[in-house]
Amino acid sequence: MQSLSNVLASSSLPTSLQNVLTTTTQTCIDISSTLKKGSLAGILGMAGNENVQGEEQKKLDVISNDMLKDALLALPEVRAIASEEEDDIVPAHTDGEYLIAFDPLDGSSNIDINSMVGTIFSIYSKKGDKPATEADFLISGNQQVAAGYVLYGPSTMLVFSTGNGVAMYTLDVDKSEFILTQASVTLAKEAQEFALNMSNQRFWSDNMQNYARDLIAGKEGPRQKNFNMRWVAAMVGDVHRILCRGGIFIYPWDKKDPTKPGKLRLMYEANPMAMLIEQSGGKAYTHTHRILDIQPTGIHQRVAVILGAANEVDKCLSY
Ligand SMILES: O=P(O)(O)OC[C@H]1O[C@](O)(COP(=O)(O)O)[C@@H](O)[C@@H]1O
Ligand SMILES: [Mg+2]
Ligand SMILES: [Mg+2]
């Protein structure tokens, strides 16, 4: 059973990237320990502020953001960070090499019900000779050098890719280190399950409503097959289930709020998950574009997301 530190040390990844990955994942172990304390530590509930996206921050959104921010800004390899919970990018070291975008706590609405949440991260290599600006981050997901998430579930798991497949690690809580538990993840091309917040159905495009109608029609409908539905309400949990046993996850375009034509954020939700899904053999699209090809226009940009089993994503796009 190999530890993450052994896997990294025996890899051909630059030491600088190994250091960024080690700091990110070690901080997630600290976040995991904090989460385990729950209401005993007075860390549940609202923080009393809104983030730049007008969402109410939970105390744990702020705590996990501060933990990652402090740890990464202290690392000489880090040029800047961008976070769901920070209005603007935060420059670190002008001569640092890496830009890290993260969602410190994904699935915030699950915090107070003691259900699954996670941290999602995306890492780019981009040197420069001036302090980093937002423009430095506006590069497509194709250029991610590493991406992944830590899922805080019954066990804490790390899943990441450096562009050469996807590996899963499980936290050994006694040793406080991640142990490799699945060296390579392969996603089946066909799906039996879908993850879709059906309560938004009336706000979707006609095509999306037709696709969902046909999924639900099951064996008696045009798909001639029964599908099961699952919704964790944390993208990190839904994507993890898909990487473990297949399926499709969709957060489509909707007309609920014209300023948010898609709920999920490109830089720290869609891009890193798209990299993991593609690296395991699946597909990740908006309604029209491969997610990793999108040229970002802002660090908090939102996109529609259709990802998972390759043939089911194709089927969805065919509508
Ligand atoms: O309210 P809904 O439609 O269930 O939304 C759930 C989605 O929102 C998110 O929780 C957004 O992420 P944050 O919790 O980081 O804001 C996704 O993880 C999840 O897929
Ligand atoms: Mg999120
Ligand atoms: Mg979040």
Query: Same domain for 102 and 213?
Result: no
Query: Same domain for 172 and 209?
Result: no
Pocket test for ligand 1, best of 109, 111, 150, 303 (most atoms within 8 A of CB): 109
Helices 235-245 + 271-279 axis angle, to 10? 0
**235 CA to centre of ligand 2 in angstroms:** 7
Q: Which of 39-43, 62-66, 72-76 has the lowest mean pLDDT?
A: 39-43
pLDDT tens digit sequence for 200-230: 999 999 999 999 999 999 999 999 999 999 9
C-alpha to C-alpha distance for 129 and 152, rounded to whole angstroms: 37
The last residue of one of the domains, among 182, 205, 222, is 182
The type of residue at 283 is K
Query: Same domain for 163 and 221?
Result: no
pLDDT over 90 percentage in the chain: 90
Q: How many domains does the chain have?
A: 2
| Ligand 1 residue neighbourhood (C-beta within 6 Å) | 84, 103, 106-108, 197, 233-235, 251, 263
Nearest ligand to the C-alpha atom of residue 105: 3
Give φ, ψ of 198 to 5 degrees. -65, -15
Confidence of residue 102 (pLDDT cuts 50, 70, 90): very high
> Which residues does the annotation place in the binding site?
84, 103, 105-109, 197, 263, 269
3-class secondary-structure state, position 171: strand
Quote the tokens at residue 82. Answer: 């961008």
Query: Same domain for 38 and 165?
Result: yes
**Which residue lies with its CA nearest to atom 1 of ligand 1?**
233
Judge whether 188 lies within some domain. Answer: no
Judge whether 210 lies within some domain. Answer: yes
Query: Same domain for 35 and 130?
Result: yes
Are the C-beta atoms of 313 and 284 separated by less than 8 Å?
yes
| Strand ranges across the sheet with 98-106 | 90-91, 78-83, 98-106, 117-125, 144-152, 156-161, 167-172, 177-182
Q: What protein residues have CB closer than 5 angstroms to ion ligand 2?
A: 103, 106
Query: Same domain for 203 and 263?
Result: yes
The last residue of one of the domains, among 128, 156, 182, is 182
Which region, left, alpha or beta, applies to residue 190 given φ > 0 means left and ψ of -120 to 50 means alpha?
A: beta
Q: Which residue has the tokens 């574009």?
A: 289
- Domain extent, residue 300, equals 193-318
Quote the tokens at residue 174. Answer: 């006694």
**Which residue lies with its CA nearest to atom 2 of ligand 1?**
233
C-alpha to C-alpha distance for 118 and 235, rounded to whole angstroms: 9
**pTM value surpassing 0.95:** yes
**Which residue lies with its CA nearest to atom 3 of ligand 1?**
197
CATH number at residue 55: 3.30.540.10
90, β-bridge pairs: 81
Residue 176 has pLDDT above 90, yes or no: yes
